[in-house]
Structure 1
Amino acid sequence: MSELLEVAIVGAGLSGLALAERLSAAGRAVGVFEARDRCGGRILSVPLANNLTVDLGPTWLWPGSQPRIAALCRRLGLTLFRQADAGQSLYKISADTVPVGYHDRQTHADAWRIQGGCAALIDALLAKLADIDIRLNQALLRIVDRDDHIELSFSTVNGTDTVRAKRAVLTVPPRLMAERIAFVPALSADLFEACRATPTWMAGHAKAAVAYPSAFWRQQGWSGNAVLPYPGAILSEIYDAEDPRGEFGALFGFFGIPAEFRDRYRAQLPGLLTHHLSELYGPDAAEPLRSTIQDWSMEAYTATALDRLPPIGHPDYGHRWLQLDHWTDKLYFGGTETAAEHGGYLEGALVAAERVYAALT
């Protein structure tokens, strides 16, 4: 890519692709560069069984309070369905106590999922970006302010590549920017510390999904939801993951054990997972069709060492330094962690894309 791009977008997650679509529609010459060998970033949907796709990254959207993602799904023709919640949820306060059932109508109030998984959103955006140069396996190493343009150097499968652009938008997590990318001139101390202090949403977490011949828990009166907030719980939260199109049942959950213990017992995790579910839901849970585990703390283009211990509660995203332009209107930051509202969510990725688009146009 030897020509001078109008805008180089680094990161092909939801924020980067949504921004690319809007800029392309406005007639801007755009290039997208992604370090992974796939688009989507933390959006990752995988097939577990016939017509059953589960999300190992973001899963839900709330149309009642998240208008941007709801509108985008409508415009792209995606089908939404409500998160299954019928039946009682389980609550287990310690390893030695018996789980108790309770009716929970708040956890997923107005929560919806995308048929085919959130990756269907990425696929639909990519279909609209067929004429845009989207390059995979391009990890940004260095970005230089050349006064009248920006120069970006990428690590590729064939060595290195250099790209020139009038403006650049980095949609990768701020901590990754601070740790992995060389800025010339260097970022200001305030901006650098703002990047390091911004937790990457879900980077310290791991998620599991398990497919079964049927949603047997529903026949027992359970919703599939469970909360297990005690130390040592294999999964701390569990939810029904069935896709209405499928003939199978599925559960997914977030690991409760921290990254260092997941590392230590990596080979034993599938067995521990099955045993954990069978303790909650009985012998039917001991015979899954298939299970899969996605540990985001192991992802080089998601997590840093600072992310291995997840934050307590939802971080306060959208630091003011990350919402400003830098290098005299040539460098911008996007991605859900930079959003002033809904940071960490799909909606936040679109909030950030909307802000940067307005600044560029």
Structure 2
Amino acid sequence: MKTVRRLLFGEIIRAVVFVALGFLALFLFFDMVDELQSLSRFGSQGYLLQHALIYIALKIPSHLYELLPISVLIGSIFVMARLAQSSEFTILRTGGLEPWMALSSLLKLGLIFVGLTFFFGDYAAPWAERQAQQIKAPYQGQLTLGQTGAWLREKQGTQQFAVNVRRFDGIDQMEEVRIHAFNERGQLLAITHAQKAQIQAGQWQLQQVDHKSVLAPSPQQAAKFSAIQLGTKVWTTGISSDMVAAALLSPDRMSTWELFGYMRHLSVNNQNAQRYEIEFWRKVFYPLSCLVMLVLALPFAYLHFRSGQIAGHVFGGVLAGISFALLNNVFSFIGNLQNWQPLLTSAAPALLYSAVSLAAFWWMVLRR
């Protein structure tokens, strides 16, 4: 059995690597075309070809994260169909390779691809995205969200804070920061405006500060206003750089742990976290789609054909993989609009295709 596993694992891994490299080369070509526009736009500001090449290289982990499941499907279908065409899989079945043994062997291989996908999605891609943003930000400007920037909320004891960040470099530097403080009745207490701010552990270091406060000694007395200007000011807060980036970036660029922390922050501050909950569960289930792809590919090994049909079956497998990715994205948007349960919304495509794969496996293998 070890020899059989070594044969299957080696063939599938080589095919998956070949397909992934082919797709990756295509994606990098498109990235290079986009960066040629950036070179012409920001060249006068010092954005050179070496910066563009480093930026493109840092996009590789996120591309691999997106490509691994579909590469696993195409590569495994090609291997299974080729083994069936050359009758090698028939010989393996004659030698004692039962259907459930073949399925369990592929699932063990799938765990390796699951681990790789999780690594790229949760560690390599977020780190590379930050490095890429740090390289390009000095030339194209900082992260912004529309004309008003990003808004965040935080509750500290009896006070609530509404924070507006106009620009962020993706690491720890911000510009045009406004902090509005309210009491438990929703009355405005103070507005702090800082030209620049740096995010540190458990606090923000505000610079060029204009602080305006509202003093109301009692309900019977009129409110008094005061304004002071400070060079620096420290504001204690639990809002981290990941949370600021989450408000400015698309949630699919965040790691699972960052999404979980931002979800908790939104829930504690009574904000809608539906979009981030769906993306969190998508991040959880997306690596498991590699297992679904391998189950989809196994029935191709039990087909009976001789020649000229591999291309058609591989094409059908590609369409199945594309439909899975499309359904996965569509469910996320519909679930967010219809306020569906995030866990079921994210798990539904994988469960549906797993059921279809097992039904095909039963019909084409076990039933016969």
**TM (normalized to structure 1)?**
0.25
Q: Which has the higher strand share?
A: 1
Q: Which has the higher helix share?
A: 2
Q: Which has the higher contact order (CA 8 A, sep 6+)?
A: 1
**TM (normalized to structure 2)?**
0.25
The higher radius of gyration belongs to 2
